[in-house]
Structure 1
């Protein structure tokens, strides 16, 4: 999944990005509100991690504008303020959750998973399609009695395709979801991961079909 991290503490931001990337997520980092606005206007995100105290303003103004625009991307607020009134204020503005600094990275990861499950409207993690069972938390794909452990980008690619089977995803969309803005990649990179997933899906009822000039789609027999 793709996250936007809005945090001006560089060391903390690096630590968060590293942990989230180990989980296979793509993370764009904004140090200032103006950068956060630019990212949110040009990119599509599954989750936003938002600091409150930023060099060029209060993160709550970003949150307020975010919700006023009827954008439903989940937001977890990162705050050094522990007063109940501060926590209530960000929740009233539309935050989905908050975590108080300093925090344990494992707790932040758990809160991210919980918020994303709520957004999906379900507490289950396993998605079944055809004769395939996909578990993004465990990072594996099960076909019959065969369990396949997926690498990070294979995992995120399948997660995207299986979220909307039958829908065609253009290469540009897949690049946007699999790679951060800092990474210089070509459309050939997507073809590499598509080929790997196709190999994993061999001997199953599920396949990835190519629609020339349009993109890729997940189908089953």
Structure 2
């Protein structure tokens, strides 16, 4: 029996951070990339409409047009509109330079499943994927 490749959405505006994350995740599946909130909203909504939800979303908080905290709430609202029960949606891991208590609490209260403080590395990503039982 073969391993099923996962499908990730990486929402990251910084080229360097995005490249590192995509290179790490490519070992486990394929990645769609969004460089701002508008692209992320479109990608997430499209996956819901097509019934091809992502296995995991990696979401930066500081984006140029819409912050990741707002996107997280929008993603959860969109899932609810599509009949996805709370706690049953796509796992979302925040990836950010913001290591303050306020942002961390806000993210978890908006139903993220993980929080990685940059710099992102293979060990941090693998740990979160193991916690989610994705690897």
TM-score, normalising length from structure 2?
Answer: 0.80
For the pair shown, which has the larger CA radius of gyration, 1 or 2? Answer: 1
Structure showing the higher strand proportion among its residues = 1
Unaligned runs of 5+ in 2: 1-5, 48-52
Indicate the structure whose relative CO is greater, using CA pairs within 8 Å and at least 6 residues apart: 2
Matched residue, 2:22? 17
Q: CA deviation at 1:85?
A: 1.8
Taking the aligned partners of 1:89 and 1:75, their CA distance within structure 2 comes to 13
List runs of 5+ in structure 1 lacking aligned partners.
121-136, 138-221
Could you list the runs of 4 or more consecutive aligned residues of structure 1 that deviate by over 4 angstroms after TM superposition? none
2:110 paired residue number: 93
Deviations 1:142-187 (A, max 9, x none): xxxxxxxxxxxxxxxxxxxxxxxxxxxxxxxxxxxxxxxxxxxxxx
CA RMSD of aligned residues (A): 1.5
Deviation of 1:103 (Å): 3.3
The answer to whether the 8 A contact 1:20-1:109 is kept is no
Check whether the contact 1:2–1:25 (CA below 8 A) recurs between aligned residues: yes
